[in-house]
Structure 1
Amino acid sequence: MKKLNQRPLMWQVVLLILMSGVFLLPQIIGKGMILGSDVVFHFNRFYETSQQIKEGNFQYFLSIYGFQQSGRIVNALYGPFFAYFQGLLVLLSPSWYAYQLISNGLLYLLAGLSMFGLLRKLKVNGWLATAMGIFYMSTYSIQYWIERQGFSAWGAAVLPLCLIPLIALGQEKKLRPFAVGVSVAVLFQIHVFSSIMLVLMYVPFFIQAFFSGEGPDVKKQLVGKLIGAIGIFLLLTANIWLGMADLYLNNQLLAPFVNHNMQNNTITGTSSYWWSTPILLPIICALFFCGALKVWPKLASDMKLMTLVAAIFFILATNFIPWTWLGSLDNGLINLIQFPFRFFVPATVLIIAGLCLLVPYYQGQQLVKPIWIILLVVLSSGQVLIQTTNKMLDWRSDEAAVTLRNHTYLATDSAKELKAAYFAADKSLALALYQRSTPDYVPIYQETTENKYDAYGEQIIEKNNTVVKSVEEGKLTLRWQGDSTDWVQVPVINYRYTELTLNQTPLNHADIQLSTIGVVTLQQKIGSNVLVVDYDAPWYFDSALWLTIGAWLLLPLGYAVWWWRCQR
């Protein structure tokens, strides 16, 4: 106990690290995989970047290793820089099983340290901050990746850290452009929708600071700093928003899954596991809102606003919002939401932080005694361990390795063979044995009622065995033998700036035909045919990409200058 009191910060961080490892124990002991609904999609994304790093063939736009080597664009629209970070983890891992352990452990640690960092900045007691950091690891905001490979969990893991600049905005009515710009940019580079929610969390605090400021000079200065923060954000994310703008302006891209039944995916609908993981979370929510209302007159204005923002996000995650009606509107902005339970992530963060801030108002009362905090951590951690253990028992049972869903393609009838593939050194094996038709971001060339998932399965997945694909000189290459001069469909997708070269002859639009989802049909020759696929990005994108990379590399220097100016 004496050692703990002498260097508390070190021991608090050590405890967070240890708990990140403890949460992995069932999977380490059980030696099994957790294959959720999004595992195929994200494993393909990260295999793509891992192979690009390994082979030195950097192709920012096209998928030349993953996604059936179809030449489709995914990572450029979905956290490209972070995808390369995940690809590095895949490359360093001897198997998919090892990668899952490493990525899960890193996610746990990141989430715990992130919540710990936010709470310490809010001057919450170090041991309470540690306990709530562990509790945050156990919430479904983080478990979403562990159990289903839902990528918003990575956004949730860093969200608390990205809220730290909100403290100065709420308490001092000061906006720090460097901190705000970098925070939003970090989240934007990881998960775009999470960054949108972060901005929505900032908006009410900015409005409060703006209207509580005395005099036009203060308001002018606040707006000037906001413009500076936006400038920093744009500089650090130019690769994404410029790439998105170019792709969407020059192609009609198929949006990711459009959920017409959003009312089901709320914490009061069929996604109630967000609300019950851990099972004590509803009690935590009730304690926060009831506790805040009880001492409402005593609360500072920023704490009151924080409570209101938490309540708004909480309600947005429920069926108190008419999601049935909203989902029927077919509105692009509403379709972007997909799953209303996503709003529960910022609500969870604010509720945990807010509950800790309420502790001083209830000092001496039974509920704030350490024993209850310890019990909360033990029970929530135990629930995670039990849930993971159950998944390992499922993995070891005689049932299939994966749950068969719509648009699933299995290249083997043997569960044993599929399971073994996730422990093999050749990571492409598992991707070949277990495939799903997910046509997100493919180009649409005709408006038809054709099911795009079925079209992708028939035209890409099922036709992949008609050609031999490889990467040569950094370009995707298709080879096949033609027995006639007929037009044939080849399993590769064409975008506005895709370049196709058949038998050393560049093809133009008149030389090809395109299916609804952009799959190429061309005229082959008798004998050997070679199709080379490349992508010619506009000149300004290359400039923006290098500018963004340079900006991130110079970020530590920029921070040092900002810190020095703040000390003056």
Structure 2
Amino acid sequence: MKKTTINWHQIFKFFAPYFAILLLTTIIISTQLVSHATFITADRYFHFSRFYDAAEQIKTGNFSYFQNNITAMQSGRIINALYGPFFAYLNGLLVLLSGSWFTYQIIMDYLVYLIGGMAVYRMMTKVKVREVNAILLALLYLTLGIMPGWLRADNFMAWGAALAPYVVMCGIDMIQDKNNPVHWVKLMLIMAIIAQIHLLSTVILALSLVPFAIYSFVVNQNKKAILLNFIKAVAGTIVLTANFWGAFLLLYRTNKIALPKSFGLNSGAVHISASGSEHGQLTILVFCLFIAQICYVLFHLRENKLNTFVTLEGAVLLLVSSRFMPWHFIQTLLPGLGRSFQFPYRLIVAAYPLLFLGMGLTLEALVKYKKEKLIVLAVLVAALVQTTVCTIRTNVALTKMYNDPNRVAVLTTYYQIDNKRQDIKGAVNGKDKGLLFKLINRTEPDYLPIYKKHISPDMVNLLYRTDIIDQSMRYNYSVHGSSLYLSWVAKKSDEVQLPLVMYHQSRLQVNNQIVQPQKLNPIGSPTVNQRKGNNTAILSFIVPMWFWGLVIISLVGWLVLFLYGLKVIVNYRFNQN
């Protein structure tokens, strides 16, 4: 019998990128791991809240697709339906399986970084970039821009950044694959996944593919097949995300929804920084690498068509996202962008993968120029060290805040926090995950209904605090099915404003009678008649049948795609044997 030999080189080659990514992540969050620190920032609290609501729905069986009946002060607000509903339930399941918020946070840190790092690595190896160079670029990507923002605050655009290289890989096919430039199943799958997680990332990344699509359509002869595959990809994405756009259609067609608070666009634009590397901060060494990459392409326009294409598009996107753009003037002309777009640096979700791909291609082109390649590699390694140090420094600073008994949580004035901040440590490391939402109340106005034409986010925030949070202690809450129950005892019969919010589709039942509230305040809090003694109110959200049809269509689409993928894997394994 022939003895089987183990190819250790192939094993090492396979596991090397995984090991490098996991090692880098561990080094970055080491102080956090030692201190068991959970960084309660604005975005993280927001996502913890909505995932806990999903977790409790799974645990109790009281499913409510629209109303948040467990968190959001049990006010009946809608959040998950408009923000990655399927992904929220997946996270809810992981929350249930995690022993504490700290454990859940660390699992997600490793998961996002592993997905993002391997996406960059696979993008590089797809265009034949050497493994060592691919790993270095993947590690640099993880410590720059939007990705380190995840470790700090659960910034959900990091999911877009983690998956963006797969979108770019679809663009690579459009440039290089002459026979089948549009791989519609891959394109449909990645865009649908991102759409189910983060809408704005989907929009930006879809727009970044437009130049690739135009090029592919112009240079290839079989335009009918290309157009057909694009239609298939778009149609398939619409099917897979039917639940998502259906919720937007249902709510925005009949309700005015509060916008987030406004930010200064210029302050959120990309700029050179000596002390940080996250979000809009661009370290000087990475800036030099980008400039060198752009200059190389400008002097070698015809050398590598793909390199030229991705570098120039990435450079344009980086320019638009930076302070070189007159964002002060733009915001004066279009003030609404401060609420909707908020941060121009968000464009780097597409710009950075394109520029990194260009750098990988340039490194391969410099193989014959040993001196120049060594210089670029030296700067690349130095840039990686610099961005890693910046990310570690941020992690250390946040850990110190967590360990500060007077601080613990890093939150803005849009939050109310229990005076005993040390209790938060027990909440994030204990088994009772719901305790966190008793110690901290969120008052930001995301997705609240608005019943007044001109009202500022600050006023919405104030009304939510005074009319919902401050009044909630007077009531007892319970959940049955998808409905929220309030009970209270009144000393006399008169009017009372309930700490609830009502959308156009909300139905309110008070003391066994369906009522039309006598009035709604600007955020939809109803005033009703109470009777002396015991009172009960039931808030429900009436979901039309056509919407449930869209949910079924979406779920069936994902099931069909799963079965198709399973068939492809089985056939591949069968052919290998």
- TM-score by structure 1 length? 0.92
Which residue is 2:477 aligned to? 469
Alpha-carbon displacement from aligned partner over 1:310-331 (angstroms, at most 9, x marks no partner): 0111012112222222223346
* Secondary structure of the corresponding residue to residue 54 of structure 1: helix
Q: Unaligned stretches of 5+ in structure 2? A: 1-6
1:16 aligns with 2:21: yes
Which range is displaced more, 9-18 or 50-59? 9-18
Which range is displaced more, 350-359 or 548-557? 548-557
- Are 1:169 and 1:205, in contact at CA under 8 Å, matched by a contact in 2? yes
Which range is displaced more, 520-529 or 469-478? 469-478
- Are 1:269 and 1:319, in contact at CA under 8 Å, matched by a contact in 2? no
- Are 1:40 and 1:435, in contact at CA under 8 Å, matched by a contact in 2? no
Which residue is 2:4 aligned to? none
Amino acid at match of 1:436: R
In structure 1, C-alpha distance between the alignment counterparts of 2:324 and 2:287, rounded to whole Å: 17
Which residue is 2:87 aligned to? 82
* Secondary structure of the corresponding residue to residue 499 of structure 2: strand
Alpha-carbon displacement from aligned partner over 1:378-406 (angstroms, at most 9, x marks no partner): 44434433331232223223432234522
1:362 aligns with 2:382: no
Q: For the structure 1 residues 235 and 404, does the alpha-carbon distance in structure 2 shift closer, same or farther, using more than 3 Å as the test?
A: closer
Counterpart of 1:495 (choices 457, 478, 503) is 503
* Secondary structure of the corresponding residue to residue 481 of structure 1: strand
| 1:529 Cα offset (Å) | 0.9
Which residue is 1:31 aligned to? 36
Counterpart of 2:552 (choices 542, 546, 564) is 546
1:446 aligns with 2:446: no
* Secondary structure of the corresponding residue to residue 250 of structure 1: coil
Counterpart of 2:300 (choices 279, 295, 310) is 295
In structure 2, C-alpha distance between the alignment counterparts of 1:335 and 1:232, rounded to whole Å: 31
Matches within 5 A, 1:158-307: 158-172=163-177, 174-214=181-221, 218-259=222-263, 261-268=264-271, 273-276=278-281, 280-300=285-305, 302-307=306-311
Which residue is 1:143 aligned to? 148
Which range is displaced more, 246-255 or 18-27? 18-27
In structure 2, C-alpha distance between the alignment counterparts of 1:328 and 1:553, rounded to whole Å: 47
In structure 2, C-alpha distance between the alignment counterparts of 1:269 and 1:408, rounded to whole Å: 31
* Secondary structure of the corresponding residue to residue 164 of structure 1: helix
Amino acid at match of 1:489: Q
Alpha-carbon displacement from aligned partner over 1:269-308 (angstroms, at most 9, x marks no partner): 99985354666422332232223223223231x3222112
| 1:413 Cα offset (Å) | 1.7
- Are 1:444 and 1:516, in contact at CA under 8 Å, matched by a contact in 2? yes
Which range is displaced more, 446-455 or 531-540? 446-455
Counterpart of 1:131 (choices 120, 124, 136) is 136
* Secondary structure of the corresponding residue to residue 554 of structure 1: helix
Which residue is 1:433 aligned to? 439
In structure 2, C-alpha distance between the alignment counterparts of 1:274 and 1:539, rounded to whole Å: 42
Amino acid at match of 1:262: L
In structure 1, C-alpha distance between the alignment counterparts of 2:130 and 2:539, rounded to whole Å: 57
Which range is displaced more, 330-339 or 119-128? 330-339
In structure 1, C-alpha distance between the alignment counterparts of 2:89 and 2:425, rounded to whole Å: 26
In structure 2, C-alpha distance between the alignment counterparts of 1:445 and 1:31, rounded to whole Å: 44
- TM-score by structure 2 length? 0.90
In structure 1, C-alpha distance between the alignment counterparts of 2:482 and 2:138, rounded to whole Å: 44
| 1:162 Cα offset (Å) | 2.6
In structure 1, C-alpha distance between the alignment counterparts of 2:283 and 2:477, rounded to whole Å: 46
| 1:561 Cα offset (Å) | 6.9
Matches within 5 A, 1:335-484: 335-363=339-367, 364-369=369-374, 374-403=381-410, 405-410=412-417, 412-449=418-455, 451-484=459-492
Which residue is 2:562 aligned to? 556
* Secondary structure of the corresponding residue to residue 302 of structure 2: helix
* Secondary structure of the corresponding residue to residue 150 of structure 2: helix
* Secondary structure of the corresponding residue to residue 42 of structure 2: coil
How many residue pairs get aligned? The number is 557
Counterpart of 2:513 (choices 485, 493, 505) is 505
| 1:374 Cα offset (Å) | 4.9
In structure 2, C-alpha distance between the alignment counterparts of 1:404 and 1:551, rounded to whole Å: 40
In structure 2, C-alpha distance between the alignment counterparts of 1:548 and 1:200, rounded to whole Å: 23
Which range is displaced more, 223-232 or 360-369? 360-369
Which residue is 2:46 aligned to? 41
* Secondary structure of the corresponding residue to residue 196 of structure 2: helix
- Are 1:4 and 1:11, in contact at CA under 8 Å, matched by a contact in 2? no
* Secondary structure of the corresponding residue to residue 528 of structure 2: strand
In structure 2, C-alpha distance between the alignment counterparts of 1:331 and 1:232, rounded to whole Å: 35
* Secondary structure of the corresponding residue to residue 258 of structure 2: coil
- Are 1:407 and 1:454, in contact at CA under 8 Å, matched by a contact in 2? no
Counterpart of 2:322 (choices 306, 318, 322) is 318
| 1:77 Cα offset (Å) | 0.7
Which range is displaced more, 265-274 or 277-286? 265-274
- Are 1:492 and 1:519, in contact at CA under 8 Å, matched by a contact in 2? yes
Amino acid at match of 1:44: S
Which residue is 1:95 aligned to? 100
> Percent identity, aligned pairs only?
28
In structure 2, C-alpha distance between the alignment counterparts of 1:400 and 1:333, rounded to whole Å: 33
